[in-house]
Structure 1
Amino acid sequence: CSGSPLIHVNLPKRNICLVLPYSAPAPRLHVPESVLRMFKEQEEQEAPPDESEKHGGRLRTFPHERGNWATHVYMPYVAEEDFQGLLQALLCCARTYVPSLSPLPEFHISLSQVVVLRYHWIAPFVQSLKERLRSVSRFICRADQVKVYTNQTKTRTFLGLEVSSGYSKLSELVSEVDKVMEEFSLATFYKDPSFHLSLAWGLGDLSEALGGQRLQELQETVDGFEDSSSFLRIPGTEVRCKSGNKFFSFPLR
């Protein structure tokens, strides 16, 4: 019986040794490479260190975690040549007081805070947005009031144009977006928001440097700019959602 698994059965006046056949452990199966790669694209890659010097000194609002997708809902505005001309005039005036101001590469009116989604939430989140927004009709709003904003941590300042008409329609959009946020236990938008187009930004709290008489000068630049009443009318024809590197569009009715 030596060298093999044994079972001893004690019977009266006898000791019987049963020999069981030996079997080696089954080898571990190899996982195909195609299976290992199946879900690779579903998670964001690990982010490199937050090298703020490569982003104009900007820092993340929240730390990056693998699988977390920063998500934002907004109404886009495609700037035409006349709008770019006004932006340059405003920057020329504002840089007299804050030389470090930089123009933003694109423009929009925010309809949500930046929230964090896990990858498997994205599809149902987008579907819920689609269902909520499909009944909202198109509209026109106007953004022509110069205003200075800072983020919650006072690490960045934005020069923007606040909406002066169309507030109720934007509030309707936010109401629908907020319902989706609540479905996923995410932060809703600010109460009594100041809807606006951000135009330029700078590091730190620059609200005092751009306030008072300086703000009045900037407003006079807008009021006196040729045809500004025309190109500062913003068509509300679609809502967009950006989640990580993915973009989704929701045309309004």
Structure 2
Amino acid sequence: MEALRTSYGDTYSDLDSDPDSDRTPPPPSNTDPTQPSNLLPPPLLSLLNPPNSLGTFDYLEHGMASRVRSFPHGEGNYALHVYIPVNIPPATKKELAQFLKRVTPLVPGLHVVNADVPLNNLLRDDQKLEQVAFEREFHISLGRTVPIRVHQKDSILAMLRQKFQTHSRYWIDFNKWEVFVNDDRTRTFLSIEVTAGGLAEITKQIQAVNRIYKLHNLPEFYKDPRPHISIAWALGDIGDLLKRVVAAEMKRFIVVEGSSQKRIFTSKFSGIKCRIGNKHHKICKFQEE
């Protein structure tokens, strides 16, 4: 992007970049307007945003809203996270975006998970809202995100791959909007919970990960896990407010839309991944593959 801006710099900045150039501004041009110009045309606005850019949202100042890790970074420490990747079906994204549009104005400070973009800044553009909020991979955590030492990496990966070397596919039903607050009550999350289809299988996988964590003296997952994906977050503990807003919206949806659907969307189990530091490792293979 910087190269593009440099290419389209004005005459004076181009002169200043050349140590041998005359610093006197050039005289007015007497060029015949009918002659073709050597000047480059203004750049297309789309060129100033890379293909995967969020456009103007790349330049939002998030300030204090930026998320922070729950444990201090130390030399030789790597963040470990074991999870099931989840992609929301295209047909569901529009419906979820409309839900966020109704909830966001009533709950100050909601942000897109991971992108850390304020949801209020996306409400005027449905396409941008869908793109920023849902065009990415979500995850169901199978263990806490914890720091490990460099000498533990190979052992943990080997045990995970041995335990999950083969696995059958199954369907996961995401069927309940829920609100969660982290342990130190510094973040509140708007999430979609798994309470039926797939719950038994995920619970068994969490128990298996717990055993591996325990062998490495790592803290185990919650005693009564509630598998979910997080859609949005806010600073502090605003759980009560967010729960009231979500409950009211769900009630309105049932009354106005006449729907009492049993699930929000369904996703097929696509494997298990393990993130250590900045590297993602594929853990699970399927029996039919």
Query: Aligned ranges for residues 97-176 of structure 1 at < 5 Å?
Result: 97-105=106-114, 106-165=137-196, 166-176=198-208
Find the aligned partners of 1:82 and 1:188 in 2 and give their Cα distance: 36
Give the aligned partner of residue 215 of structure 1: 246
Find the aligned partners of 2:249 and 2:272 in 1 and give their Cα distance: 29
Runs of 5+ in structure 2 lacking a partner? 1-60, 115-136
Q: 1:144 touches 1:222 (CA, 8 Å); kept in 2?
A: no
Specify the SS of the correspondent of 1:182. Answer: helix
Establish whether residue 182 from structure 1 lines up as the match of residue 214 from structure 2.
Answer: yes
Percent identity between the two aligned chains: 29
Find the aligned partners of 2:213 and 2:80 in 1 and give their Cα distance: 11
Find the aligned partners of 1:73 and 1:55 in 2 and give their Cα distance: 28
Give the aligned partner of residue 103 of structure 2: 94
Give the aligned partner of residue 247 of structure 1: 280
Find the aligned partners of 2:172 and 2:200 in 1 and give their Cα distance: 10
Establish whether residue 72 from structure 1 lines up as the match of residue 72 from structure 2.
Answer: no
Specify the SS of the correspondent of 1:95. Answer: helix
Given the two structures, how large is their TM-score scaled by the length of structure 2?
Answer: 0.63
Specify the SS of the correspondent of 1:170. Answer: helix
RMSD (CA atoms): 2.5
Distance verdict in 2 for CA 1:126–1:222, change over 3 Å: farther
> Following TM superposition, by how much is the alpha carbon of 1:116 offset from its aligned partner in structure 2, in angstroms?
1.2
> Following TM superposition, by how much is the alpha carbon of 1:85 offset from its aligned partner in structure 2, in angstroms?
1.6
Find the aligned partners of 2:175 and 2:283 in 1 and give their Cα distance: 26
> Following TM superposition, by how much is the alpha carbon of 1:221 offset from its aligned partner in structure 2, in angstroms?
7.3
Return the match for 1:234 from 243, 254, 267: 267
**Structure 1 or 2: larger helix share?**
2
Specify the SS of the correspondent of 1:146. Answer: strand
Deviation by residue 1:147-203 (Cα, 9 ceiling, x = unmatched): 101101111110001102221100111111111111211111111111111111111
Q: For this pair of structures, how many residues does the alignment match?
A: 200
Q: 1:87 touches 1:199 (CA, 8 Å); kept in 2?
A: no
> Following TM superposition, by how much is the alpha carbon of 1:79 offset from its aligned partner in structure 2, in angstroms?
2.5
> Following TM superposition, by how much is the alpha carbon of 1:120 offset from its aligned partner in structure 2, in angstroms?
2.0
Given the two structures, how large is their TM-score scaled by the length of structure 1?
Answer: 0.71
Specify the SS of the correspondent of 1:125. Answer: helix
Larger radius of gyration: 1
Runs of 5+ in structure 1 lacking a partner? 1-51
Deviation by residue 1:218-243 (Cα, 9 ceiling, x = unmatched): 435776599x8787112112001111
